[in-house]
């Protein structure tokens, strides 16, 4: 079997590497071509060009690279045709991947196409599924409620589990050591998570600082840990410098893992980080905002009443959420403070988190292997 895989960002690279490992387990000798990051390259795949060229977000970042990206789309499509794989597997990054699939479909309408990570049509722009169905045959979904949306649009779809269920967690010994190291033994410990993109950090950090100013007097000895990633570490340092509680900023993977396991409460931007918190059993408040125009558009187009994945997967509304113009310190601070004290509120969240992890595949076959079985069954 030969597969052509395309990953466009680090999360897709990790999914692709797990899929490759799964294919090697169930179909030894499978050959891989395509675009890969370091995780997929570690599985033995050579990349057509550096994946980092595709890791751009937002209009301002894309415009200067527009013609270069168009050229890469054409080059990739030509390489798919030349490789003559049994299937093209595109992994997330729909702006790039689905354009490649469209060119390939025009030249090779018989080639099977598979997309890994279903678009969030359940949240907004449901018409995307119908457009995707013109170039994609089969979808590998991360969330258990997504397959019906894909099949309704004309594609086959399997829920294969979410990679968060296989992420390692810090041991109790590591948690104790981390708290001792930062002087937080017996002290309330808050995780502040303002996002992983510069724009998010710039918008959310000042508001998180306002929340801290309101809760710190009621929580003596409060410690704040701010896990971040290298691409926004400098912005995080600058934007949190004036907070009333000086945060400990951590980038290294082991320290980040220990911080998640050690935290009492988290105040986090909306996104997949809520699942990482759920895996560690950390009660959380989710808050997010964009500029005023984008907020208005988002609210107008939204199809759901919550954006928090724990709420959606567990079919509860256990996680308090403050988005768009409701992200105000006077609204958020009481909920954060309450989670430090209210045992019932904490227990309700933890029950929803446990249900979420179970529904995402915790304790079952690894998502990468499930994805591989889905690919093989589709091609069979």
Per-domain residue ranges of the chain: 2-161+364-379, 172-359
Do the two domains 2-161+364-379 and 172-359 of this chain adopt the same fold?
yes
Give the dihedral of Cα atoms 144, 146, 150, 151; nearest 10 deg.
50
Tokens of 165: 């269920």
d(CA 169, CA 151): 35
pLDDT tens string 255-272: 999 999 999 999 999 888
> Average of pLDDT values for 108-119?
97
Q: What is the pLDDT of residue 290?
A: 65
pLDDT in tens, 194-212: 988 788 899 899 999 999 9
Task: Give CA separation, 67 vs 54, 73, 110, 230, in Å.
Answer: 12, 10, 29, 28
Q: Determine contact, residues 260/191, Cβ cutoff 8 Å.
A: yes
Predicted confidence band at 243 (pLDDT cuts at 50, 70, 90)? very high
The percentage of residues in the chain with a pLDDT greater than 70, rounded to a whole number, is 94
Given a cut of 90, is residue 52 above it in pLDDT? no
pLDDT in tens, 124-157: 778 899 999 999 999 999 999 999 999 999 999 9
Centroid of chain to Cα 337: 27
**pLDDT of amino acid 197:** 79
Q: Give the integer Cα–Cα distance in Å for 334 and 285.
A: 10
Nearest Cα residue to 69 out of 79, 88, 56, 83? 56
Name the fold adopted by 172-359: Rossmann fold (3.40.50)
In tens, the pLDDT along 156-175 reads: 999 999 999 999 999 999 99
Higher pLDDT, 326 or 34: 34
2-161+364-379 adopts what CATH topology? Rossmann fold (3.40.50)
Determine the average pLDDT of the residues in 78-102.
96
248-250 and 265-268 beta bridge pairing: unpaired
Closest CA to 89 of 42, 145, 36: 36
* Alpha helices per DSSP H over 29-108: 38-42, 59-62, 66-83, 94-107
Whether 295 has a pLDDT exceeding 60, the answer reads: no
Average model confidence (pLDDT) across the chain: 92
């Amino acid at each position: 079997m030969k597969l052509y895989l395309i990953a466009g960002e680090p999360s897709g690279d990790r999914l692709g590497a797990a899929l490759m490992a799964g294919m090697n387990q169930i179909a030894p000798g499978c050959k891989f071509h395509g675009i890969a990051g370091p995780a997929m390259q570690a599985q033995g795949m050579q990349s057509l060009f550096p994946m980092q060229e595709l890791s751009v977000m937002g209009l301002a970042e894309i415009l200067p690279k527009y013609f270069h990206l168009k050229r890469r789309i054409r080059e990739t499509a030509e390489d798919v045709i030349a490789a003559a794989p049994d299937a093209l597997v595109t992994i997330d990054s729909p702006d790039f991947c689905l354009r490649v699939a469209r060119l390939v479909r025009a030249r090779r309408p018989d080639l099977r196409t598979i997309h890994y990570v279903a678009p969030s049509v359940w949240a907004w722009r449901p018409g995307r599924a119908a457009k995707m169905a013109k170039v994609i045959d089969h979808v590998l979904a991360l969330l258990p409620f997504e397959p019906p949306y894909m099949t309704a649009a004309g594609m086959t779809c399997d829920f294969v589990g979410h990679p968060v269920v296989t992420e390692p967690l810090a041991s109790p010994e590591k948690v104790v050591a981390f708290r001792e190291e930062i002087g937080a033994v017996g002290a309330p410990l808050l995780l502040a998570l303002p996002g992983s993109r510069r724009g998010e950090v710039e918008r959310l950090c000042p508001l998180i600082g306002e929340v801290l100013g309101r809760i710190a007097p009621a929580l003596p000895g409060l410690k704040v840990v701010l896990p971040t990633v290298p691409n926004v570490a400098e912005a995080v340092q600058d934007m949190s410098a004036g907070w009333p509680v000086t945060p400990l900023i951590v980038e290294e993977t082991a320290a980040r893992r220990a911080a998640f396991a050690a935290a009492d409460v988290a105040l986090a931007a909306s996104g997949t980080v809520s699942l990482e918190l759920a895996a560690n059993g950390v009660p959380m408040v989710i808050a997010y905002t964009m500029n005023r125009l984008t907020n208005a558009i988002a609210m107008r187009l939204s199809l759901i009443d919550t954006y928090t994945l724990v709420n959606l997967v567990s079919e509860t509304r256990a996680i308090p959420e403050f988005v768009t113009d409701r992200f105000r310190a006077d609204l958020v601070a009481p909920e954060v403070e309450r989670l430090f004290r209210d045992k019932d509120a904490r227990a309700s969240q933890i029950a929803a988190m446990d249900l979420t992890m179970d529904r995402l595949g915790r304790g079952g076959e690894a998502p990468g292997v499930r994805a591989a079985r889905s690919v093989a069954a589709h091609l069979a």
